[in-house]
Chains A and B, each alone.
Chain A
Amino acid sequence: MAELTRERWGKRSYFIFAALGSAIGLGNLWRFPHLTYSNGGGAFLVAWMVGLLAIGIPWLIVEYGMGKYFQKSAPGAFEGIGKKWEWLGWWPVWVAFLIDTYYCVVMAWALRYIVSAGTVAWGMGEAGAAGAADYYFGTVLRLSGGPGEIGSIVPELLIGLAVVWIIIFLVVQKGAASIGPVSQWVMITAWAFLIVLVVRGLTLVGATEGLNYYLQTDWSKLASGDVWFAALSQIAFTLSVGMAGMYAYGSFIKKRGDVNNNAFITGFGNCATSFFAGFAVFSVVGFLMQSLSIPVEEVSSSSVGLAFITWPVAISMLPGANALFGVIFFVCLFLLGLSSAYFLAYGGVISPLMDKFGWGRTKTTVGVCIVAFAIGILFTTQGGLYWGPDILDRAVAFYGLLLTGAISCLVVGWVLPVSRLREFVNETSDFKIGPWFDVLVKFIIPAALLFVLVYGGFMNDIPNSYAGYPRWASNAIWGVLVVTLILSFILGSMKTKGRAD
Chain B
Amino acid sequence: MSIEAMVAAVVMWVVFIGGLSWCMSKWRGGGSEWEE
Q: Which residues of A contact B (CB under 8 A)?
A: 11-13, 41-42, 45, 49, 208, 211-212, 214-217, 254, 258, 261, 264-265, 268-269, 271-272, 275, 430-431
B1-36: CB near A (< 8 Å → 1, else 0) gives 110110111011101100110010011100001111
Residue of chain B at shortest CB distance from A269: B20
A272 engages B5 (CB within 8 Å)? no
A212→B26 CA distance, assembly (Å): 36
Chain A residues near B13: list those with CB within 8 A.
Answer: 275
Q: State whether B23 touches A49 (Cβ < 8 A).
A: no
Closest to B17 in A: A272
In terms of DSSP, what is the predominant structure of the interface of chain B?
helix
**Given the complex of chains A and B, what is the CA–CA distance between A208 and B13 in angstroms?**
17
CB-based contact A268/B8 at 8 Å: no
* Contact B23–A272 (Cβ < 8 Å): no
Give every chain A residue within 8 A of B2 (Cβ-Cβ). Answer: 212, 216
Contact A208 B16 (CB under 8 A): no
Residues of A within 8 A of B26 (CB): 261, 430-431
- Tell whether A12 pairs with B23 under 8 Å between CB atoms, given A215-B5, A216-B2, A275-B12: no
User: Once the chains bind, are B8 and A254 in contact (CB under 8 Å)?
Assistant: no
Given contacts A216-B4, A430-B27, contact A49 B15 (CB under 8 A): yes
Are A264 and B19 neighbours in the complex by a CB distance under 8 Å?
yes
New contact pairs (10) apart from A215-B4, A431-B26, CB-CB < 8 Å: A11-B36, A12-B33, A12-B34, A214-B5, A264-B23, A268-B16, A272-B16, A272-B20, A275-B13, A430-B26
In the complex, the answer to whether B8 meets A42 with C-beta atoms within 8 Å is yes
B residues bordering A, Cβ < 8 Å? 1-2, 4-5, 7-9, 11-13, 15-16, 19-20, 23, 26-28, 33-36
Q: Closest approach, in angstroms, between the C-beta of A363 and any C-beta of chain B?
A: 32
**Which B residues lie within 8 Å of A49 (CB)?**
15
Nearest-neighbor residue (CB-CB) of B36 within chain A = A12
| Set of chain B residues within 8 Å of A272, measured between Cβ atoms | 16, 20
CB < 8 Å: which of B16, B27, B33, B35 contacts A275? Answer: B16
Q: For residue B25, give the distance in angstroms from its CB to the closest CB of chain A.
A: 9
Q: A217 and B4: CB pair below 8 A?
A: yes
Whether B5 and A211, one on each chain, are in contact in the complex, defined by CB atoms closer than 8 angstroms, is yes
B28 touches A254 (CB 8 A): no
What are 16 A-B residue pairs whose CB atoms fall within 8 Å in the complex? Answer: A41-B5, A42-B7, A49-B15, A211-B5, A212-B4, A212-B5, A216-B2, A217-B8, A258-B28, A261-B26, A264-B19, A268-B16, A268-B20, A268-B23, A272-B16, A430-B26
Chain B nearest CB, measured from A234 CB (Å): 15
A296 → chain B closest CB, angstroms = 13
Q: Name B29's closest neighbour in chain A (CB-CB).
A: A430
Residues of chain B with a CB closer than 8 A to A431's CB: 26
Closest 4 CB pairs of A and B: A215-B5, A272-B16, A215-B8, A208-B1
In the bound complex, residues from chain B placing their C-beta under 8 Å from that of A13 are 34-35
